[in-house]
């Protein structure tokens, strides 16, 4: 079973992770003084909530969060994984749908009702955050359609954001397989030497001079999990769309185009998201094969 924050046999990316963390720690140490004077609290961005946004209506897959994956609703599987993350103080489901809310309360989840008008998961997270009584420094947006998300990945992006005070956003990438390299639905990412995102694209980046995929280049695939500084989350939803965001139809580009920094961690993870009813069977087969029942 894959574990987050390690890169298996690729020693190149291992050293990159370690480098990112060490650098982050150094920056964090420098910024702790500032955090003290602002809030009088010792640990930077210490209060963390995981929010699983879930809506019933979906153009591609009606009722998706409640679809059963080997006998359990998909959203319950996501929630159980999220509960295992040690950095989350609290996990909630944010939904506009009573059926989903009822099922989630049934297996013990806390639920926040959000309005039907939320256009996307980010907006739903923001509304949920505003409705919570307690204040949080970091919000992790956990997509309900990644039921096998490793708790280590959640912890990894939280720690990355805590260790990088100059970043407002953190996310994860994994190795891109050659078969996926030209698929525009697989979003590629490039990062700088310190593990900050340079760019995300539906096209292959970097692009080899030969015009062909370079089998030796460690291309990176973006995973749909992200965490934000909660103050930034408000700004994020209000930022006007930007040219590169609109051209690629990638929400996160808005962050980079406005000059904000985004920390990226590299993890080992087979993406097995559920987008269509056909994906359910594929995921179940994979879980049986790996004995994940």
Q: Is 214 in the site for ligand NAG (CB under 6 A)?
A: yes
- Report long-range pairs for 38-43 (Cβ below 8 Å, ≥24 apart): 43/162
Using rule CB under 6 A, residue 6 touches ligand NAG: no
Distance in Å, CB of 40 to ligand NAG, minimum: 32
Q: Output 25 or 190, the one with its CB closest to ligand NAG.
A: 190
Residue number with CB closer to ligand NAG (86 or 120): 120
Pairing status of strand 261-266 against strand 167-175: parallel
Binding part of the chain for ligand NAG, among 49-57, 117-125, 160-168, 280-288 by CB under 6 A, reads 117-125
Residue 126 or 174 having the CB closest to ligand NAG: 126
Q: CB-wise, 132 or 250, nearer to ligand NAG?
A: 250
Q: Are 190 and 205 in contact (CB under 8 A)?
A: yes
Of residues 118-137, those binding ligand NAG (CB under 6 A): 119-120, 122-123
The answer to whether the beta carbons of residues 222 and 200 sit under 8 Å apart is: yes
By the rule CB under 6 A, 41 interacts with ligand NAG = no
Nearest to 218 by CA among 254, 191, 248: 191
Q: Does 237 bind ligand NAG (CB under 6 A)?
A: yes
Q: Establish if 243 lies at the interface with ligand NAG (CB under 6 A).
A: no
C-beta of 97 vs 123, nearer to ligand NAG: 123
Residue among 131 and 290 whose Cβ is closer to ligand NAG? 131
Q: Which residue has the tokens 């069977």?
A: 281
Contact (CB, 8 A) for 274 and 283:
yes
Q: What are the backbone dihedrals phi and psi of residue 185, each rounded to the nearest 5 degrees, phi first? A: -80, -15
The DSSP annotation for 174-195 comes to EEPPGGGTT-TTS-EEEE-TTS
Residue 110 sits at φ, ψ, to 5 deg, of -80, 135
Structure tokens at 70: 């080997």
Candidates 128-136, 145-153, 203-211, 227-235; binding stretch for ligand NAG (CB under 6 A): 203-211
State which of residues 2, 183, 248, 251 lies at the interface with ligand NAG (CB under 6 A): 251
CA-based Rg of the chain, rounded to a whole angstrom? 19
**Closest residue to ligand NAG, based on beta-carbon distance:** 237
What is the C-alpha to C-alpha distance for residues 245 and 124, in angstroms, rounded to an integer?
Answer: 20
- Which runs of consecutive H residues, i.e. helices, occur in the chain? 11-39, 74-83, 98-106, 121-131, 151-162, 230-238, 243-248, 253-257, 277-289
Q: Does 208 bind ligand NAG (CB under 6 A)?
A: yes
Determine, following the binding rule CB under 6 A, whether residue 257 of this chain makes contact with ligand NAG: no
CB of 42 to ligand NAG, least distance (A): 33
Least distance to ligand NAG, CB of residue 177, Å = 16
């Amino acid at each position: 079973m894959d574990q987050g924050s390690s890169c298996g046999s690729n020693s190149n990316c291992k050293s990159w992770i370690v480098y990112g963390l060490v650098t982050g720690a150094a920056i964090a140490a420098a910024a702790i003084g500032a955090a003290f004077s602002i809030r009088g609290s010792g640990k930077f961005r210490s209060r963390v909530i995981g929010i699983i946004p879930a809506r019933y209506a979906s153009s591609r897959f009606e009722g998706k969060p409640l679809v059963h994956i080997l006998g359990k609703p998909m959203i319950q599987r996501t929630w159980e994984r999220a509960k295992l993350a040690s950095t989350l103080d609290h996990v909630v489901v944010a939904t506009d749908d009573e059926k989903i809310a009822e099922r989630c309360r049934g297996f013990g989840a806390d639920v926040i009702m959000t309005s039907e008008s939320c256009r996307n998961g980010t907006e739903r997270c923001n509304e949920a955050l505003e409705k919570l009584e307690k204040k949080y420094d970091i919000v992790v947006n956990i997509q309900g359609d990644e039921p096998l998300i490793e708790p280590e990945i959640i912890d990894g992006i939280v720690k990355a954001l805590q260790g990088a005070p100059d970043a407002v956003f953190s996310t994860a990438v994994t190795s891109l397989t050659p078969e996926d390299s030209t698929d525009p639905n697989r979003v590629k990412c490039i990062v700088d030497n310190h593990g900050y995102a340079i760019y995300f694209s539906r096209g292959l980046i970097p692009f080899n001079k030969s015009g062909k995929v370079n089998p030796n280049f460690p291309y990176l695939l973006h995973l749909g999990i992200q965490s934000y500084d909660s103050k930034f989350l408000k700004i994020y939803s209000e930022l006007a769309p930007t040219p590169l965001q609109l051209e690629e139809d990638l929400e996160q580009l808005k962050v980079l185009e406005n000059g904000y920094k985004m920390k990226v961690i590299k993890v080992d993870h087979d993406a097995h998201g559920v987008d269509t009813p056909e994906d359910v069977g594929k995921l179940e087969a994979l879980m049986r094969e790996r004995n994940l029942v």
